[in-house]
Structure 1
Amino acid sequence: MSAAAQSHIFLGADHERSERRTWWVIWLCGAMMVAEIVGGLLFGSIALVADGLHMSTHAGAFLLAALAYRYARKHANDPRFSFGTGKFGDLAGFTSAIILAMIALLIAYEAIHRLFFPVPIHFAAAIPIACLGLGVNLVSAWLLAGGHHHEHGHGHSHGAAHHDHEATHRLVTDQGVVALEIFEDGVPPCFRVRPENGQILSASATTVETMRPDGTSQVFTFQDQGGYLESREEIPEPHAFKAHLRVGPHVSAVTFEEHEHAGGAAHRDNNMRAAVVHVVADAAVSVLVIAGLLLAKAFGWSWMDPLVGIVGSGVIASWAFGLIRDTGAILLDMTANRSMAEKLQQAIEAEGDEVSDLHLWRLGPGHLGAIISLRTEKTHGPAFYRAKLARFRSLSHVTIEVEHLTAKFQ
């Protein structure tokens, strides 16, 4: 069994930056909440007070997200958390989604009630407040999105995983400097050879021979694409091998390594996602409310306001359900990425070994844990198989159990 000393800090790459952005939004919503409640009390506007109380629910949701960020960061090294604190964001996102679903139900209930028992609408106060709420939500969304980015290496995504290849190799040949790369942008993976100084390369005199760790080799021939050469044959996965580029009589050797990252849900920060859903949902409802109020005022359609409320509650409920489903799956340790689980098994079994048990789950944004049990007739230890999985960069905690079948007969 191998579970070498590893770091148990499984926080997202933008954890501290996301925490700061969340606190900025809390201060904005808090200031607007106080201004609306105080202003409503001073000027006798119950609608303004109501919107201030509504703003308090968002401030509470953002406070939950900010506290989850802070707690996860402060207790990241706490040994009581066997697999770190990376899931605090998912727990906060799950809780926030439950609150969002309850808000959707309350809106739907109030809207249906008003559909059958209409109440007079004070358009002069309601429309400006709805516009103010929309403005606050747009600013909040901008603050939450500020600086959010994903690092992309050289390479392109396949399915649910992201591949990072080593940078393009520049080689000196008898024909001058040429660039050898793996190209897979919208086409099957292939080699491309580009002359650096405008020289003309002969497709018939150019080949690439790959040699993989398991000893298999393959020769790739080229065709002229005008300005560069492209291999006729598709490069099979994985893209990790030694490549011998032959240009005329000259041969150059390079090594291609591939690093694979889990994409999609495995990298998603559900704490920030929940905060953004609160903002976007309220902004969408604000747009619907403004449109409904304007139509109701222009044409006397008093039923438009509650109808918009029903539609808005449905939108919020849909987003809340998606967030509950995704965060709930993470909290229950469902397999984070089936495609990556299959690739892990293929990597282990490439030389005839057998995976008897495999568990893959999310530890935090961008971090996966894996426990793998395998049977082999060889003498390899856990370190050998750990090295085979090194290209899976999202694997932050790996435990490998090796059962040597020959030991049964000794």
Structure 2
Amino acid sequence: MDVQKYEKKTLWVVLLTMATMVVEIAFGLSTKSMALLADGIHMGSHVLAIGLSWLAYVLVRKAQNSRKFNGESGKILSLSGYSSGLILLLFAVVILYEAVRRFIEPADIVYRDAIMVAVIGLVVNIVSAFLLHHDHEHSDHNIRAAYLHVIADALTSLSAILGLLAAMIWDIPFIDTIAAVISSAVIIKWSIGLLKDSGMVLLGMKESHSHDHHPHHH
């Protein structure tokens, strides 16, 4: 596994996500769009989680170069994936909570700006997904976690766009909220899957494929 290559790619995604997060939160506050703010805060969780994935690669690289470390460096990746899954789960719950609260007290939304920034968010996520996509996804829980965060984010951006468009066209503001609820349900399902798989590797119940130390030739 070419740790350094993934380390670089992951860092790029972290920086991309961070920039988008700042923009979305700023616009979310100024346009009072729940969807945008949710997406921005959500991006924050991904900055954290993907940052964690990046750190895991740094640690694996150090571990592989170190004489003292004789554990399975693959376990580091599963641990990072597991922690990342927990962050994902937590944020899905936060979005649910926010959506329900907004459902109870609706607010006016500046639709055009909100949709524009959500589209930017979506594009960034698609670019990130391409950056992170690689062959070892199933055996490497770390990159899978980062990938899921990006896809989850694309999903919230997409649901924000669709929700805002529907709300704008048919003047039904709570579609925004329903979209947020559906997104969080899907994200909860993903994060539980990730926790199950990476947790099994950590407990040694299922062997991970990343403990063969030969570099993979493509």
Same fold (TM over 0.5): yes
* Aligned mates of 1:45, 1:116 — CA distance in 2: 19
* Aligned mates of 2:17, 2:165 — CA distance in 1: 26
- For 1:68, the equivalent position in structure 2 comes to 56
Q: Is the 8 A contact 2:32 2:110 kept in 1?
A: no
**What is the CA distance between 1:285 and its match in structure 2?**
1.8
Q: Does 1:128 align with 2:137?
A: no
Q: Is the 8 A contact 1:76 1:84 kept in 2?
A: no
Question: CA offsets, 1:327-372, max 9 Å, x none?
Answer: 00000000x3xxxxxxxxxxxxxxxxxxxxxxxx33x62539xxxx
**What is the CA distance between 1:14 and its match in structure 2?**
3.1
**What is the CA distance between 1:40 and its match in structure 2?**
4.8
* Aligned mates of 2:122, 2:178 — CA distance in 1: 19
- Once superposed, what is the RMSD of the aligned Cα atoms? 2.7
- For 2:145, the equivalent position in structure 1 comes to 274
Question: CA offsets, 1:52-104, max 9 Å, x none?
Answer: 55433322211110110001111225455443322111000000000000000
Q: Is the 8 A contact 1:25 1:62 kept in 2?
A: yes
Which of 46, 58, 61 is the matching residue for 2:46? 58
- For 1:365, the equivalent position in structure 2 comes to 210
Comparing both structures, which one devotes a greater share of its residues to strand?
1
* Aligned mates of 1:36, 1:302 — CA distance in 2: 19
Q: Is the 8 A contact 1:101 1:317 kept in 2?
A: yes
* Aligned mates of 2:47, 2:113 — CA distance in 1: 23
Which of 300, 309, 312 is the matching residue for 2:183? 312
- For 1:333, the equivalent position in structure 2 comes to 204
* Aligned mates of 2:56, 2:10 — CA distance in 1: 11
CA pair 57-126 structure 1, distance change in 2 beyond 3 A = same
Runs of 5+ in structure 1 lacking a partner?
A: 1-12, 151-263, 337-360, 369-392, 394-410
* Aligned mates of 1:310, 1:64 — CA distance in 2: 26
Comparing both structures, which one devotes a greater share of its residues to helix?
2
Tell me the number of residue pairs that the alignment of Structure 1 and Structure 2 aligns. Answer: 212
Identity of aligned pairs, percent?
Answer: 39
Name the structure, 1 or 2, with higher relative contact order (CA <8 Å, separation 6+). Answer: 2
Q: Is the 8 A contact 2:89 2:191 kept in 1?
A: yes
- For 1:297, the equivalent position in structure 2 comes to 168
- Tell me which amino acid in the other structure corresponds to 1:68: A
- Tell me which amino acid in the other structure corresponds to 1:73: R
The two structures have a TM-score, normalised by structure 2, of: 0.85
- Tell me which amino acid in the other structure corresponds to 1:332: L
Which of 143, 158, 169 is the matching residue for 1:287? 158
Runs of 5+ in structure 2 lacking a partner?
A: none
Q: Does 1:106 align with 2:129?
A: no
**What is the CA distance between 1:313 and its match in structure 2?**
0.4
Q: Does 1:138 align with 2:126?
A: yes
* Aligned mates of 1:40, 1:332 — CA distance in 2: 43
**What is the CA distance between 1:287 and its match in structure 2?**
1.3
- For 2:6, the equivalent position in structure 1 comes to 18
- Tell me which amino acid in the other structure corresponds to 1:304: I
SS in 1 for 2:73: coil
**What is the CA distance between 1:138 and its match in structure 2?**
0.7
